[in-house]
Amino acid sequence: MVGGAAHAQRDLESYPVFQGKVVPGKEMVVSEANGFVLSDYKLSYYRSVSFTVGPDTFSKVAAMVEIDAVNAPFKETEKVGGMLTYALVQPKSAGKKNRYLCYQARKEEDKWKVTLMYLEGSATLDELRKMFDNQ
């Protein structure tokens, strides 16, 4: 299953971030889950990466997410001072599964704390929002 979900991410501009090709893997906190553990959420795959980076790498990651948003049927983004700080993107479905890319960034002094998540499953956008609201 993990291999299939990773394959479904390959068409995303932000895929290299999840692979550790933009920020080295040892500098990221990575969380991944699949299968039964996510069934209550109507998800079949979850992957999250979090990291703290300087402005150049932050800009590169934000630009990748913005490209994913441009190509998506649904996107919700927020910028502060011209910088992308939030995105909820629903790329084209992978077969019968919905896909979501969630992005959040906040400035901490001269660095940026970034979290990027990829979710896949039957959950609708409204169900996903309700899950986030309850967290």
pLDDT at residue number 6:
56
- pLDDT tens for the chain, 135 residues: list them: 345 455 568 889 999 999 999 999 999 999 999 988 898 889 999 999 999 999 999 999 999 999 999 989 999 999 999 999 999 999 988 778 899 999 999 999 999 999 999 999 999 988 888 877 766
Between CA 28 and CA 52 the distance in angstroms is 8
**Cα separation, 46 vs 38, whole angstroms:** 8
**How many domains is the chain built from?**
1
Kindly list the distances between the CA atom of residue 94 and the CA atoms of 8, 10, 122, in Å, as whole numbers in the listed order: 6, 11, 11
Within 13 Å and on the Cβ side, how many CA atoms surround 55?
Answer: 3
CATH number of the domain within which 37 lies: 3.30.2030
Distance CA 57, CA 111 (A): 10
Domain extent for 21: 2-133
Gap between the Cα atoms of 47 and 13, Å rounded: 16
Instruction: Indicate the helix (H) or strand (E) that contains 51.
Output: strand 43-53
